[in-house]
């Protein structure tokens, strides 16, 4: 044909074909629409036209009342809200009250240890100051099922929100027991227990919990991957948390030759100022994760490395391009046999169970009620436990350092740690890392400065500087974890490295007599 077509885009998204008798093709513009060239309107059929039509249809309501800049901002906020609140899977109907209560009773075999709650209370009122070791052991055993119920209620809340907010909820509510222990210890002037337990919780999360997650996941998978950028940001937050502890400690030892009052004033002022800055940094990280850069933590994040099962040398995504596209459009018997034989060997293993619904075991009201009741029970039981520490350590067989750094974090983190390890076995290592590392970040950047500022309000001289050996241990733990996650891949040997380092710390803290870095500060608490 001699006629050529000029294509122009109409404002409503349709395409106009301008037929011309010339042999040269010119792209129509808005000025060409005023010429005498006849226009033939056809329905939009291209992908670009359909996209423009969809954008116009979804944006008409907003454009009537807002400017383009406001529209973009509203779209970003709406998208962030959806990513935060939208559950990963569709949530099924909530159960009734009796069914929820039955689920609570059958949630875990650890509920059998709930019998130690009345036992520990009775022993406290009957033998306080006489059988402190027995009271400590019973209170210790009573807190474990309570912490498990807290984790159970937290999981039920996490089913109803997005993955990022779920990790934040698990990390936040997972630190409830640590926060209660710190507040009660602060009230009773057990400042050394506070400092040791906070450091011990960070060590427990970074070494024992993460190490067990890597090891358990490495038994099932040859390699597991996680998001690189999110891991690097968490590593940076952990690094500054260690620096925030080491710098005030260095300042304290630098002025130790001065007068006691001057040194006390300096170290307390530095601790309060540093705590305020750490809280500001923590809230900034929340804004970063939940709003401004929420897409980095989304499920579809392409930055996440895929997991590899044993016996699979290369994933499809790692094969050369020509091998990936050679069978497109054909049905090869070998290919279909391989896909039918090992569907789980695909690089996206966790998509196999995403077509179902998340069935909640508790209703929302029962979940909130469970959190409230368990928190009260934990608070009372922890008070009896803290009261028995002095009598238990009086004979010298066990030190407060070992109780604070090793025993108390195990009580607080055991149920949550089991959940984290189970999650990594299900090839959800990103969620496991976000809970474990996120919990450490929350303890370092929010719980610790909050307790320091609360002590300021209550008139308790709690400072940021910890025991020198505890500070060095925390620094080495953060350094080791940063090296392990550097390649954004995990295997069972890396998990074994972290667990062995934690075992070494347990042995050394058993023989460590303890040291009071704040001198007379802890002795003046009333």
pLDDT of 84: 61
Summarised one tens digit per residue, pLDDT across range 107-147 is: 888 889 999 999 999 999 988 778 888 999 999 899 989 98
Give the three-state DSSP class for 96. coil
Q: Is the predicted pLDDT of residue 36 greater than 80, yes or no? A: no
Task: Say how far apart CA 306 and CA 225 lie, in whole Å.
Answer: 5
Whole-number Å distance between alpha carbons of 76 and 135: 54
Helical H segments across 106-131, by residue range: 116-127
Confidence of residue 33 (pLDDT cuts 50, 70, 90): very low
- What confidence score (pLDDT) does residue 495 get? 92
Closest CA to 403 of 414, 392, 413: 392
Distance between CA 460 and CA 186 in Å, rounded?
A: 7
What does the alpha-carbon distance between residue 492 and residue 78 come to, in Å, rounded to a whole number?
40
CA separation for the pair 485, 494 (Å, rounded): 9
Cβ neighbours around 113 below 10 Å, total? 18
Query: Is pLDDT above 50 for 5?
Result: no
Spatial separation of the C-alpha atoms in residues 356 and 343, rounded to whole Å: 18
Cβ proximity of 229 and 305 under 8 Å = no
- Phi and psi for 93 in degrees, rounded to 5? -65, 145
For residue 342, the model assigns a pLDDT of 39
- State the Cα–Cα distance between residues 109 and 105, nearest whole angstrom: 9
pLDDT of residue 260: 52
pLDDT given for residue 87 in this prediction: 63
Residue 150 in this model has a pLDDT that exceeds 80: yes
CA 509 to chain centre: 28
Indicate the pLDDT class of residue 333, thresholds 50, 70 and 90: very low
Q: Residue 271 corresponds to which tokens in the numbers above?
A: 């601790």
How far, in Å, CA of 107 to CA of 517, rounded?
Answer: 43
pLDDT higher than threshold 60 for residue 162: yes
Task: Single out the residue of 381, 307, 331, 347 nearest to residue 144, CA to CA.
Answer: 381
The confidence band for 12, taking pLDDT boundaries of 50, 70 and 90, is very low
Higher local confidence (pLDDT), 146 or 227: 146
Its pTM surpasses 0.75: no
Write out the two tokens for 34.
């005023």
Per residue in 422-470, pLDDT (tens digit) is 888 888 888 788 888 888 998 999 999 999 999 999 988 888 866 788 8
Predicted confidence at residue 265, as pLDDT, reads 54
Q: How many CA atoms lie within 13 A of 134 on its CB side?
A: 13
The residue among 206 and 51 whose pLDDT is bigger is 206
Distance, CA of 43 to CA of 62 (rounded, Å)? 25
pLDDT digits (tens, 9 = 90+) for 275-325: 999 999 998 988 887 777 777 666 545 555 566 776 666 544 444 443 343
Residues 389 and 189: their CA atoms lie apart, in Å, by 12
| Sequence-separated (6 or more) residues with CB below 8 Å from residue 301 | 227, 230, 295
Average pLDDT for residues 38-58, to the nearest whole number? 45
Q: What is the pLDDT of residue 497?
A: 94
Instruction: Please work out, in degrees rounded to the nearest 5, the angle formed at the alpha carbon of residue 366 by the alpha carbons of 365 and 367.
Output: 90
Q: What is the mean pLDDT of residues 380-407?
A: 87
CB 524 within 8 A of CB 461: yes
Give me the mean pLDDT over the 316-342 stretch. Answer: 38
Is the predicted pLDDT of residue 21 greater than 60, yes or no?
Answer: no
Specify the 3-state DSSP secondary structure of 304.
Answer: strand
Residue-by-residue DSSP string for 153-185: HHHHHHTTS-HHHHHHHHHHHHTHHHHHHHHHH
Domains and CATH numbers, the chain: 1-59 (no CATH), 97-308+355-524 (1.20.1420.30)
Start-to-end CA span in the chain (Å): 99
Find the mean pLDDT for residues 66-71: 47
How far apart, in whole angstroms, are the C-alpha atoms of residue 413 and residue 44? 59
In the numeric block, the tokens 């023989």 are attached to 511
Q: Given CA atoms 82, 85, 88, 94 in this order, what sign does their dihedral have? A: negative
Task: Determine the average pLDDT of the residues in 353-369.
Answer: 75
Q: What whole-number percentage of the chain has pLDDT above 70?
A: 65
- pLDDT above 90 covers what percent of the chain? 22
Give φ, ψ of 96 to 5 degrees: -80, 180
Quickly state the pLDDT bin for 223 (edges 50, 70, 90): confident
* pLDDT, position 120: 92
- pLDDT for position 457: 92
For residue 187, what are the contacts with CB-CB under 8 A and spacing of at least 6? 458
Predicted confidence band of residue 16 (pLDDT cuts 50, 70, 90)? very low
For residue 17, the surrounding DSSP H or E stretch is strand 15-20
Taking 70 as the threshold, does the pLDDT of residue 331 lie above it? no
Residue 355 phi/psi, 5-degree rounding, is -80, -15
For 130, phi then psi, to 5°, come to -110, -45
pLDDT at 167: 66
pLDDT band, very low/low/confident/very high, at 476 (cuts 50, 70, 90):
very high
């Amino acid at each position: 044909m001699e006629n050529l077509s000029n294509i122009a885009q109409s404002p409503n998204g349709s395409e106009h074909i301008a037929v011309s008798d010339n042999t040269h093709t010119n792209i129509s513009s808005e000025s060409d629409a005023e010429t005498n060239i006849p226009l033939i309107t056809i329905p939009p059929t291209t992908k670009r036209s359909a996209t423009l039509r969809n954008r116009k249809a979804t944006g008409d309501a907003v454009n009537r009342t807002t400017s383009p800049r406001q529209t973009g901002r509203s779209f970003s906020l709406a998208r962030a809200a959806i990513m935060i609140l939208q559950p990963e899977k569709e949530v099924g109907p909530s159960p009734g009250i009796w069914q929820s209560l039955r689920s609570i009773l059958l949630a875990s075999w650890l509920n059998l240890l709930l019998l130690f709650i009345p036992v520990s209370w009775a022993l406290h009122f009957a033998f306080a100051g006489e059988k402190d070791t027995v009271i400590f052991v019973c209170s210790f055993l009573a807190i474990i099922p309570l912490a498990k119920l807290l984790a159970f209620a937290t999981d039920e809340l996490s089913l109803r929100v997005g993955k990022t907010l779920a990790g934040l909820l698990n990390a936040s509510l997972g630190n409830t027991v640590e926060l209660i222990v710190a507040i009660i210890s602060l009230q009773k002037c057990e400042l050394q227990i506070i400092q040791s337990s906070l450091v011990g919780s960070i060590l427990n999360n970074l070494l024992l919990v993460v190490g067990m997650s890597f090891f358990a996941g490495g038994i099932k998978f040859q390699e597991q991957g996680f998001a690189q950028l999110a891991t690097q940001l968490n590593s940076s937050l952990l690094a500054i948390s260690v620096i925030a502890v080491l710098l005030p400690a260095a300042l304290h030892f630098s002025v130790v030759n001065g007068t006691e009052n001057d040194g006390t004033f300096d170290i307390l002022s530095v601790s309060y100022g540093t705590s305020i800055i750490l809280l500001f940094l923590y809230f900034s990280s929340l804004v970063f994760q939940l709003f401004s850069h929420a897409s980095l933590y989304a499920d579809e994040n392409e930055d996440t490395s895929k997991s590899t099962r044993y016996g699979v040398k290369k994933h499809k995504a790692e094969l050369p391009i020509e091998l990936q596209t050679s069978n497109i459009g054909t049905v090869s018997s070998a290919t279909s046999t391989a896909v039918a034989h090992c569907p789980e060997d695909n690089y996206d293993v966790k998509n196999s169970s995403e077509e179902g619904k998340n069935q909640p075991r508790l209703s929302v009201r029962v979940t909130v009620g469970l959190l409230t009741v368990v928190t009260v029970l934990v608070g009372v039981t922890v008070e009896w436990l803290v009261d028995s520490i002095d009598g238990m350590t009086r004979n010298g067989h066990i030190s407060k350092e070992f109780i604070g750094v090793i025993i108390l974090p195990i009580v607080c983190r055991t149920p949550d740690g089991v959940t984290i390890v189970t999650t990594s076995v299900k090839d959800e290592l990103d969620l496991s890392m976000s809970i474990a590392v996120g919990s450490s970040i929350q303890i370092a950047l929010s719980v610790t400065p909050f307790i320091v500022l609360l002590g300021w309000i209550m008139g308790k001289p709690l400072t940021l500087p910890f025991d020198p050996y505890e500070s060095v241990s925390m620094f080495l733990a953060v350094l080791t974890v940063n090296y392990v996650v550097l390649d954004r891949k995990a295997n069972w040997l890396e998990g074994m490295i972290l667990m062995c380092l934690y075992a070494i710390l347990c042995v050394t803290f058993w023989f460590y007599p303890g040291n009071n870095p704040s001198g007379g500060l802890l002795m003046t608490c009333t």
